[in-house]
Structure 1
């Protein structure tokens, strides 16, 4: 087998020799191709300068993303594009044409990797910065994401370059697939918590400072890390939950409540007159409507209880503040007590009446004073 250095030298000699003969024997076509390539390179430079003016360095949003893509455009890529266009018009010798094609493939792969990397990271960074409040967790997440994106993008670029240069990449791709599966299985728990953290940071089911309820616990989110989330419970202790376990269960975000629903159940005595019973829903609605930041929903008779006629009152407090809801519920409750006192409606409480049987089997109502025998009789 020939020495690789010797083969490379022979190829360089062939390229230089063929190129020199082409330049000397067909100089007109060569000069036309070189002139076209130079003009195209200058034109691409002018387009790049114009793009920088259209998208200033201080741009934000999609304009800032476009500016980042412009800044990541390589001079090598522009040169390769211009040179490839020139060789398509002119007719250079085979060795030179293959060299230009290889240079164009390498430039396209490298430039595509840079653009794809900047596009993915820019979109993720824009989404995260727009919503994120925990900058330390965001910095850690962006560091991990940057590493993952770099590995994937440059690995794809390297495989594309090798494949187009004639290298058999089948075994390499198969080896990378097997190695990736092995690494994924070995670090399954780490990757699960990592992607759960990324889901929390970018999907935003809750943020730092939100009050959440999960399982039987309620607390305020203090820190979102790459593996765990720290929550300060209502009783004062700090709870540390793995991100994967936290997202595996239902999480209620109390901070995102727009209005609070209040349900009040009560019962009144069976001796209440029917006309008073029928008027109670209207009185309850008037009580709720008189309270600020309250919206009446319904008030209705719900059933016959063991010791009471049962009613249900439902209304909404139109602000999310918990203290406002507690104050409104208290005000409505006191107003109900005051109004029922004016209507002479008594609240029911558990009672039981015992009846005594007379010698003849007749039931005697203990509340019937007229039917009682006089004392000492």
Structure 2
């Protein structure tokens, strides 16, 4: 029975045919091949120069504290086989190589270019993370885990692109990877939420280690930022361990780097105080504030008439120091205000008992 189907030639016959075509092409297009080879050599030299430049940038900044070193690290990963593949593709395209040879070179070029692009992407992503994590001990130690995740993701995409460019139907592979990714994501969604929250803290930097933050009812100093949790030492000495994802869902107040701290005091002045003395109160309180180092007076005036006192509002700013300095300054200002009011014979008011009229009289005659 005659076989009408076309049979594939044996491998040795195909290799012989490819060799004969290549030899004939080389002998018949020597000028074009020579020019293309020169151009390809120039491209290889430029790529190799970029690789050397990248290595120098990395050596000049090993901690990756500058973006130049991040780009340099990516350039330093330029592979020689990628340079050779680029040069071969240029020669084959410009010199009109035989179809079998051109197809083989293109096949190798697609693989080399895609893998090199994946390497560049991985190094740029990891370099950006390391750049943001410079000086960050906790996340710096977790770079290994991040490197594994980034490498797996980037090279999975690269493999799919290679197969797709080579004519392979990747629909089933993509579907399988998608289903697998969904399954892994559902199984470890809590871990991934905290991981991405840690990366958000790393890049956005709402707070750093050593800074004082306030969230919910807690206030404390950040001790460590990990992949899953952030540890905060509260003002009471307790260590608060908070999930990164839950922490970012809360309103966070960063107390670090406040240029000035505003202090508001309400002074209850007795109703028996003469109007002339009430008018002199702002100057007295201003002098009490300005007598304290690093304090700036804002205002002092009568604010309201309460049931048992005239409310005087005093506002000043502490221009330097942390929260402890504010507390020290407030203590000093309050002490100075009491001394000034005592000298002026101005009494504070306190809650009078309506049922005991003598309490009011006693209050009026009680020195502060």
Q: TM-score range by the shorter chain?
A: 0.7 to 0.9
Tell me if structure 2 keeps the 8 A contact 1:15–1:96.
no
Counterpart in the other structure of 2:70: 65
Shift of 1:72: 0.9
What residue ranges of structure 2 are gaps of 5+ in the alignment?
1-6, 362-368
- When the two chains are superposed, the root-mean-square deviation of aligned CA atoms in Å is 2.6
**1:127–1:238: structure 2 CA closer, same or farther, 3 Å change rule?**
closer
Shift of 1:354: 6.2
Counterpart in the other structure of 1:47: 46
Tell me if structure 1 keeps the 8 A contact 2:308–2:351.
yes
Counterpart in the other structure of 1:345: 346
**1:310–1:223: structure 2 CA closer, same or farther, 3 Å change rule?**
same
Shift of 1:228: 2.2
- Secondary structure of the residue aligned to 2:233 is strand
Counterpart in the other structure of 1:305: 306
Counterpart in the other structure of 1:139: 141
**1:15–1:37: structure 2 CA closer, same or farther, 3 Å change rule?**
farther
Counterpart in the other structure of 2:294: 293
Tell me if structure 2 keeps the 8 A contact 1:33–1:87.
no
Tell me if structure 1 keeps the 8 A contact 2:268–2:311.
yes
Counterpart in the other structure of 1:148: 149
**1:166–1:12: structure 2 CA closer, same or farther, 3 Å change rule?**
farther
TM-score of the two chains, using structure 1 as the length reference: 0.83
Q: How does 1:205-284 map to 2 (within 5 A)?
A: 205-284=206-285
Shift of 1:178: 1.9
**1:10–1:157: structure 2 CA closer, same or farther, 3 Å change rule?**
farther
Provide the rounded CA distance (Å) in 2 between the counterparts of 1:347 and 1:108: 82
**1:287–1:13: structure 2 CA closer, same or farther, 3 Å change rule?**
farther
**1:33–1:153: structure 2 CA closer, same or farther, 3 Å change rule?**
farther
**1:155–1:192: structure 2 CA closer, same or farther, 3 Å change rule?**
same
Shift of 1:15: 5.0
**1:206–1:269: structure 2 CA closer, same or farther, 3 Å change rule?**
same
Decide which structure has the larger Cα Rg and report it: 1
Shift of 1:352: 4.1
Which is worse superposed, 173-182 or 318-327? Answer: 318-327
Tell me if structure 1 keeps the 8 A contact 2:194–2:245.
yes
- Residue-pair matches, total: 347
- Secondary structure of the residue aligned to 2:60 is coil
Tell me if structure 2 keeps the 8 A contact 1:19–1:92.
no
Tell me if structure 1 keeps the 8 A contact 2:36–2:95.
no
- Secondary structure of the residue aligned to 1:255 is coil
2:326 matches 1:321: no
**1:154–1:13: structure 2 CA closer, same or farther, 3 Å change rule?**
farther
Tell me if structure 1 keeps the 8 A contact 2:50–2:76.
no
2:115 matches 1:121: no
TM-score of the two chains, using structure 2 as the length reference: 0.85
**Which of 94, 97, 108 is the equivalent residue of 1:89?**
94
Counterpart in the other structure of 1:102: 107
Tell me if structure 1 keeps the 8 A contact 2:261–2:317.
yes
Shift of 1:321: 2.2
Provide the rounded CA distance (Å) in 2 between the counterparts of 1:37 and 1:88: 9
Counterpart in the other structure of 1:175: 176
Tell me if structure 2 keeps the 8 A contact 1:258–1:319.
yes
Provide the rounded CA distance (Å) in 1 between the counterparts of 2:353 and 2:125: 73
2:29 matches 1:24: no
Counterpart in the other structure of 2:364: none
**1:41–1:260: structure 2 CA closer, same or farther, 3 Å change rule?**
same
Deviations 1:302-355 (CA, angstroms, capped at 9, x unpaired)? 111111111111111011323322221122112211221222211111224669
